[in-house]
């Protein structure tokens, strides 16, 4: 599977979204879990991203029908769902995301369905093309990774290192042997099934991309809008001795 490179959007001012979509990313993900994003801003961002020929993802706040319903109706190409820790929770994610008979997603008429003028088209797209990625960020999820990945409709996983390390009692210790072992277990199981293996390179340093790609990661979030902005400012001001 070829590398798919994207980034994270947390500031949905039209200028920021426009600048990010002009870059050579394959996809952009709007963060609904840790940013003050409104649904209106989300829909406008999705439209801009897709008009630039890129995939639009949304990370939702919780694995519930309520939290997934609007991003899907707004027309995202895929969702990233946090804290999926068991096969049962992965099954629930699938039910929340897909229309019957694959799931139990509620029917609405919004942007994704072209406001009622293309429901049948969207129905088929939802059942065939929606990308559902679950975040592996708890030790319980690591223990059940094979059964999570084997749920039909789960396209892959995205490793959340901060929460995962916290659940193991070693918060932020990414080089700890137990942490490395857990990540290796997840990556091996995902690669064996030829599914999406995602990770977030938080610091905007390009040399990390090849490092992760060589380890088998094929869905990489390269930094985040605020860090791109803040890092550039700090580096230039440091050169001025400030």
Phi-psi region at 55: left, alpha or beta (left = phi > 0; alpha = psi -120 to 50): beta
Token code pair at residue 212: 């992760």
Q: Which of the residues 34, 67, 138, 178 is marked catalytic?
A: 34
To 10 degrees, the CA torsion angle through 12, 13, 18, 19? -90
Which backbone phi and psi does 145 adopt, to 5 degrees? -60, -40
As a whole number of angstroms, the distance between CA 176 and CA 167 comes to 13
The number of residues making up the chain comes to 242
End-to-end CA distance of the chain: 44
Start-end of H helices in the chain:
14-21, 39-51, 65-73, 87-97, 119-129, 139-143, 145-149, 161-167, 177-192, 207-214, 225-239
13 is catalytic: no
Residues annotated catalytic, as ranges: 34
């Amino acid at each position: 599977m070829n590398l798919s490179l994207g980034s994270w959007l947390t500031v949905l001012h039209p200028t920021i979204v426009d600048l990010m979509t002009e870059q050579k990313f394959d996809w952009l993900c709007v963060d609904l879990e840790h940013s003050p994003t409104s649904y209106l801003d989300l829909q406008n961002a999705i439209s801009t991203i897709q008009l630039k020929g890129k995939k639009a993802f949304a990370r939702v706040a919780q694995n519930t029908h309520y939290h997934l319903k609007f991003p899907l109706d707004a027309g995202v190409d895929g969702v990233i769902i946090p804290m999926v820790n068991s096969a049962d929770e992965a099954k629930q994610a699938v039910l929340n995301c897909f229309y019957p008979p694959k799931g139990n997603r509620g029917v609405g008429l919004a942007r994704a369905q072209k406001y009622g003028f293309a429901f049948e088209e969207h129905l088929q797209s939802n059942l065939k093309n929606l990308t559902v990625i679950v975040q592996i960020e708890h030790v319980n999820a690591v223990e059940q990774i094979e059964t999570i990945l084997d749920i039909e409709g789960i396209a892959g996983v995205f490793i959340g290192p901060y929460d995962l390390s916290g659940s193991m009692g070693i918060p932020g210790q990414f080089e700890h042997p137990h942490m490395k072992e857990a990540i290796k277990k997840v990556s091996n199981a995902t690669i064996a099934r030829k599914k999406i293996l995602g990770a977030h390179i938080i610091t905007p340093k390009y040399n990390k991309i090849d490092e992760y790609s060589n380890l088998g990661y094929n869905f990489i979030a390269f930094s985040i809008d605020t860090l791109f902005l803040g890092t550039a400012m700090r580096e230039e001001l440091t050169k001025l001795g400030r």
